Structure 1
């Protein structure tokens, strides 16, 4: 959660809200695209019809152009045929002068004798008789037929030109309709493409949001686990606090009991002692309202208090089986700092009685400890067979000479 906050990530609720908005926008975009696509299909169908009309008009115009070309070629051929027919007729007329006119000046020719040229009046060589009137008649009929053919071709050309102009006008009209409809279709096509592109982009965003939700699902599960962990932690804290309270109560009870044992042992050594308290937290000892370090600089009372504390731990272990205190004590020179006369002598004697009494088996509970101590003078008379004294000398620092203990 901290990493998500530091990274500025949105919460799952925000991502779900964004996903819902994107889904609605995607659905709306798809609906708009569907509507626009339907309109585009209708427009494209109409455009196909217009394009088809334009193609048909173009084909019809091409056919009329072809027909006009053929009509013009036929008209030219008819004109050529007419020219040939007229030339043929003129040639015949030049030869026979059947029309009675000069072929150069077209003036009427005078009457000539038979067998003479109508132009130069010379005798014409005798040739096989030719039916000049018949030839002239056929030539004139040919000229007339050529004129009619040429007139017919001109009429065909005029008709072809009219059809070509009409086909051209129809083609231009079809092009105009197709172009106008194409301009109307283009924005709708662009809108459909834009909506499809937007829908595709939204689909990609929805896919990314779905992946983000899958990743955030891990965080959601972790948040649920975190809540459970918080509950478990609270329960553990309550158990811990209860255990601490119980331990503190037990520690307070034990230290109070220990303080009573210390007071009993210390009163046996120093009868004027009135009060002992032990802090249950750091186990610091107060004697008659004074801290341990304030009792004396060295020796005497401090040694007595140390011995009393050690002996009281043994007493506490006897009454509290759960407290594990070794049943052996080694006290080196407990009488150091005490004088052998007066009050110090009495105090040291009482302290030694306490130390030796801890090693006797005649205690009320039947338990005893092993105590090893070293002093600089002989102990009082032994009070039981459980006590054994080993004397050392300044010349022999070892205890191989100590007498064997009887079994």
Structure 2
């Protein structure tokens, strides 16, 4: 059962050995007269389903099990093969909003496949809050209580109501803001905006006029400006000349000082030479040993035996040359000092002229600008205030514009809501005749409950609002009975739906029913066994009446021996579902001695 569900793109519950040993599942389907093969891998590769041609096993297409934008999914293709359009419904049908969910093949499949874990707990997963709106919508679509256009209008109505709530909330917030932000209405603000615009423009024109007047009055002082610029250049040049002259004075002072230092050093050398030259050492001043006579030649020191630098030195002529050089440098220094003083005088004169010209220009400019300064200041402040007020008013008017747009949107959405509500009323009136099907379904369910002889059940019916079974007027979840009896109620409900679809041929319900353990939790006493027998008698009656127009797939632990009208597949230790995997046996399971699957493979 779960492998079939997996092949059709459902979220199946698979056993560990299946997940480990099975690579993919393939099923051949006949949907609305069209034969198709579907194949889906297990594990991470099972995110898509392959569709193949049963005639030659040729590949047709591969579709994702989940919707991805505008790409078709497995659900879209299967619903299309069944002739059921893909539609969306509001997520909450009682107070619909813009949130919507699609109706998928898996939602339809819940009316075809009754799972073992839910057969005695719910009817078509009605206890799951998320799936409940979809369960009801699928029922309405299958039995003609709604059509795709009707469901589309319900979805659109939810979007319109959601948009209307948002627009009304935003409009209320903007209206509150305008009430607190200003005491003027929109028309007054627009008139004030025009007045402020004119005021700002007048101030701008006034400033332009004053600038033109100032420019005209100051153009006559262009010659004075040119003189100021020329004086600035002269002052810069004179300053640079004075700095150069002072640098030259410093250089010559340095040369003269160096020459005098050299003269002092030479003078000291002369004095030393005169005092030491007459001395002749006969004893070493260090070790006091006698120096041999004739141990040194002429021009060599008698002590260190190195060339004597003082030998033959003459000081008189070099001393005269040095004095002449010092006198010459002294004269050059005096010339440089005089040049530097003249350069400083020129710089001071040019700076005084520059200051005088600048003062004259300032006076001339002040005479042209000062009389208009107050007027310029006033016009500038007036224009700045007008522009600031204009910005504020524009912001407020933007909210007025938004409020008008919101009011228009609210009005349009109200009209659209009314149109959709009226269209839905007409659609419901048109579909109301189809609601008689609920009476027929209730009769069939009651007939099935009576035929199955459900304990304590006096009558059965179908709730016209929820489309769920009622037994003695009680809802399924309110039945204070054992799980086996609830299983019978669920089976009776599905048999009633299928019986109507087969008899009337006016529904979209697939004429197929998959039951996993329809006798779940039934006891082993004779009355319980008899009830199980009546279930299969009811199923056989449908098979005999409609032959190959209907198909049942039933999983049971102990199929009835007398049900020879059904084709059976028996799975046991010798004939497992996976032929290549050997079961270790019942005793090994009870004792917990399970070998790995690999050691039990058939060779």
| Alignment TM-score > 0.5, same fold | no
More helix per residue: 1 or 2? Answer: 1
More strand per residue: 1 or 2? Answer: 2
TM-score range, shorter chain: 0.3 to 0.5
TM-score by length of 2: 0.31
Q: Which has the larger radius of gyration?
A: 1
